[in-house]
Amino acid sequence: MRRVQGRPTGSRAVAVLLLATSFLVAVADPAEARRRGHQRKAVSGYNPPYAAMVVDVKSGRTLHAVNEDALRHPASITKVMTLYMLFEQLEKGRYDLDSPLTVSANAAAQAPSKLGLRPGSTISVEDAIKALVTKSANDIACAIGENIAGSEPRFAEMMTRKAKALGMSRTHYANASGLPDPDQITTAHDLTILARAIQDRFPRYYRYFQTRSFAFRGRVIGNHNHLLGNVEGVDGIKTGYTRDSGFNLMTAAKLGDRQIVAIVLGGKSGASRDRIMADLVRANLPRAYAGARQTAPVVEVAERGRPAVIAEAGSRTRTEVASADDDDDAVQTTSSTSPAPLDIRPATTTPGMRRGTLQALPAAAQAYAGPANQAPFPSVNGKSTARLPAVEGVASRAEGPPKDARGESAKSVTPTPWVIQLGAMDDEDKAKSILADARSRTGVLSKAAPYTVRVTHGGATLYRARFSGFAEQSAAQDACTALKKNGFNCFATRS
C-alpha cells in the first residue's frame, strides 16, 4: 500500500477522520459534550447521590433518614408543587375542573415526557392534573404555570415563595416541570413537608394522585408509579427522573390508623428505587403511631409575620393549653365571628406534640356562642357531650362580633377538655372565615363555640381556628369525621 507523505491512508485515514469529527461536534455543541460525558459515566457505573426520609404523619416522628438535608434535584417530583399551586387556584374559584388551559408554543416545545399538544390548543384543568400525575407531561406542567402566572419563570418564583411559606427552607424552583436546571434544588426533608401539606390542604384533590391510568383523546395513559396497587397501603404520589437527580419517588401510605410519607432520591434505576421504597414502607408503616393525630396540619406561614391587634377583654380567665412547639410563644384566643372569603391555609410542620408542656393563656379568650344555658353539644352518633362553658355578654353570630376594648367587652371562656382545630392561618379574618364556613355547612357544630388562638412563633403570627365543646376525645373525633366529609381539614387535640 502506498503512503502519501504526511497523510494517513486506508483504515488509519478513516480512524483519524472519525476522531476529528467527534472532536468538532463536542466543541461546537456543549450539550452534546455533556451528553457524551454522561454516557461515559454510565459505562463506569451510574451512581447518583442518594437521600431518603420517612416521617410518621400523626406524630411527626422521623422513622428513617439518610442525607435528608443534602441538596438534591427533585426532577418530576417538582410537579407536586405545580399541582399544589393549581389546586389552590381551584379552591379560590379562579378555575374549575372543566376550565380550559391554553398551550403556548413555549409549552409545546418542552422536552419529553409530554402529551404533545400543539401550540394554541387547550386542555381542561382535570385532564391537565391527570397528565401530570400519570404521564408526568412537561408540556402540560409548563402550560399550567403560564396560565396561572403569565410565564413559567414567574410561576417558578411563586412556587419558591410557596415552598418557603410551607417551611421548605432549602428548596428553590426554576421551572414547573422538573426538567434539568442547576437551580432546581430541594432536600428529602423538604419534600416530606410538601407530601404532608398537599394532603392536609387539599384532601378533595389529593385523590388524583391515586389515578393509575386515564383516557385522553383515544389514548390510555398509565401511571409511572408502579407501587400503586402493588405495595399495601400506598396511595400516591409522584415519581421523577433526570440524569443528574437519579430515580426519585415521593410516596404516601396509610394502613388502618397508621400513616407515613416517604422520599427516595437518587435511585440507580426505576426498579431499584421502587424496591428501596417498598422496603421502607413495609418496614416503617407498622411502626407509625396509630392513635389520634398529635401534629397540626402543615400550614403556610406568611413570609413576613404581621403583628396582630387583639382587643383585650374586660375580664380574663387564665387557662392552660397543651402546647405543640410553642414553649416560648405568646398564645392568645379571640372571638371568631366575622365572615370573609374562605381561604384555607395549611399549618407549619410540627415535629411532634410535646405532651405536658403547659402555658398560661396571657390574654382574653373570647368566643361567639349561644346563651349560657344552651343544650349539650351533640356528637355525630347522637350521644351528648359536656355543656359548653358559660359565656356572658357575647354577641351571637347574627348580632355581629363581640365588642373590642373600646366598647363592651366579651367575657372569657375556658375551652373544654377536648377541642378540634381546622387549621392555622396567617390572618385572623381567614381563621374566623373557615370557622363560620364549617359551622354553616355541618349541623354537628351548631352548639359548639368557635374561637381563634393567636400564636407568635419565630417572628410570624398565626391564628388557630378551633371549636370548643367536647368533654371526650371520641366526641371531638366524631365531629372531625363529619367535617372531613365536607372537605375540611380537622384534628382533635387537648385544650
59 is catalytic: no
Q: Which one is catalytic: 79, 130, 411, 430?
A: 79
Nearest Cα neighbor of 249 from 77, 470, 396 is 77
How many CB atoms within 10 Å of residue 40? Answer: 9
For cell 400506598, the residue is 234
Helix (H, G, I), strand (E, B) or coil at 441: helix
Q: Which one is catalytic: 58, 113, 114, 136?
A: 136
* Cα(77)–Cα(248) distance, integer angstroms: 7
* Cα(467)–Cα(415) distance, integer angstroms: 9
The three cell numbers locating residue 450: 368557635
The single-letter code of the amino acid at 337 is T
Q: How far is CA 454 from CA 8, 194, 310, 424, 474, in A?
A: 84, 24, 9, 9, 26
238 is catalytic: no
Q: Which one is catalytic: 76, 113, 335, 336?
A: 76
Going through 200-257 in order, the beta strands assigned E by DSSP cover: 213-216, 219-222, 234-242, 246-255
The three cell numbers locating residue 33: 459534550
76 is catalytic: yes
Q: Are 84 and 202 spatial neighbours (Cβ–Cβ below 8 Å)?
A: yes
The three cell numbers locating residue 344: 384555607
* Chain CA centroid to CA 408, Å: 41
Q: Give Cβ neighbours of residue 124 (< 8 Å, ≥ 6 apart).
A: 97, 98, 99, 100, 101
* Cα(403)–Cα(457) distance, integer angstroms: 27
Q: Give Cβ neighbours of residue 485 (< 8 Å, ≥ 6 apart).
A: none
Catalytic residues: 76, 79, 136
